[in-house]
Amino acid sequence: MEERGEEMKGIEVFTPENLEEAISIRASEQAVPLAGGTDLMVKYRRPSGMLPDFKSNVILLGKLSELRFVKEREEAGKAFIEIGALTTFSELLKSEIIPKYVKEVIGEIAAPGIRNMATIGGNICNASPAGDTLVPLYCLNAVLTLVGPDGKRKVKIEEFIKGPGKTELGQDELLISVSFEKIDFTSTFYRKVGTRRANALSKVSFMGLAIKNPAHSGRSGYSSHSVSADGVGKGKPGKKISDLRIAFGAVAPTVVRSRENEEALLEVLNEKGGKGKGNGGENGSHNAGRIIEKIKERSVYLYSDLITPIDDQRSRAAYRKEVSLSLLKEFIVELCK
């Protein structure tokens, strides 16, 4: 049976033993879920020694060990990774299933003490524009599984997050897991710009992922790769770059990702090394340099209007925008190498 905990000003704290109990409490008591508490305890904090100032009943999810897992599964011949909502960042860093480029993001979140408590589900449901896991999850077309009294439903991450602190989560629902296709990107690029290395929220973050077709890279001995289902450039194995994904964090109300822009950039990038002008021909590296400059300009043109940061205590809007576009250009240069 669930425990009824301490009462705070008429607010009750519930500690369900399993998911079933948690769902029923969530539905009947309108209780706010608390996972690691690293966002909620800060949000409702009061002076030292005093209980937090929660505004509604609270449901502690800590005992739901069934929501703490990382597993791999096959679906239609593709590998998918599924992560339980209560899995902490420290657990993700230890998992052998989580790709290196996702671990790189998690390794830059907070400091070990927070990472031992903070969960991926909390990061998603908090829906902060500076939530660091959201950037890779948008890039990976992550799908969330929610559960409520009427059963489970799946929602794409970009449909789940509506704005700062706003989500699709029903009052009677819980997030139980997040899943995405396991893809071996050949080019991965992540930068987080914060005030300090540890315990600093992002001023800006940027992720670029791509699959370069080795047949076009001038190196020998590669076979062709598979192309992801939702990846931009899908079904173009003859292209130099067959999958390109770009996402920015902390520069708009939600993570910025545009499949249309990725498609447009992919087209220019693939033209660059193709037949005809600009392939290091007569004028060699000079020509190549000019083309890269053009692609950089094009990328800035494509993304400039989508990057609409605000001034806040962490940074200035103009700085955020400039840094974001510089990181995009840096990624383009990497891709053109």
Ligand X SMILES: Cc1cc2nc3c(=O)[nH]c(=O)nc-3n(C[C@H](O)[C@H](O)[C@H](O)COP(=O)(O)OP(=O)(O)OC[C@H]3O[C@@H](n4cnc5c(N)ncnc54)[C@H](O)[C@@H]3O)c2cc1C
List residues near ligand X by CB under 6 A: 32-40, 42, 61, 85, 109-110, 114, 117-119, 121-123, 125-126, 131-132, 169, 174-175, 199, 201
The secondary structure element, H or E, covering residue 322 is: helix 317-336
Of the pair 61, 256, the CB lying nearest ligand X is at 61
Closest separation in Å from C-beta 72 to ligand X: 21
Tokens of 30: 């309108």
Tokens of 54: 């929660």
Of the pair 45, 294, the CB lying nearest ligand X is at 45
* Coarse DSSP helix, strand, coil percentages of the chain, rounded to the nearest 5 percent: 35, 25, 40
Tell me the C-alpha to C-alpha distance, in Å, between residue 48 and each of 42, 45, 71: 12, 8, 40
d(CA 268, CA 300): 13
Of the pair 118, 265, the CB lying nearest ligand X is at 118
Of the pair 132, 262, the CB lying nearest ligand X is at 132
Of the pair 39, 243, the CB lying nearest ligand X is at 39
Of the pair 37, 136, the CB lying nearest ligand X is at 37
- Residue number with the smallest Cβ distance to ligand X: 122
Closest separation in Å from C-beta 326 to ligand X: 21
Closest separation in Å from C-beta 96 to ligand X: 21
Closest separation in Å from C-beta 35 to ligand X: 3
Closest separation in Å from C-beta 33 to ligand X: 4
d(CA 120, CA 3): 25
In sequence order, what DSSP letters do the residues of 241-282 get, joined into one string? EEEEEEEEESSSSS-B--HHHHHHHHHHHHHHHSSSTTSS-T
Q: Name residue 247's amino acid.
A: A
d(CA 15, CA 292): 57
Closest separation in Å from C-beta 177 to ligand X: 9
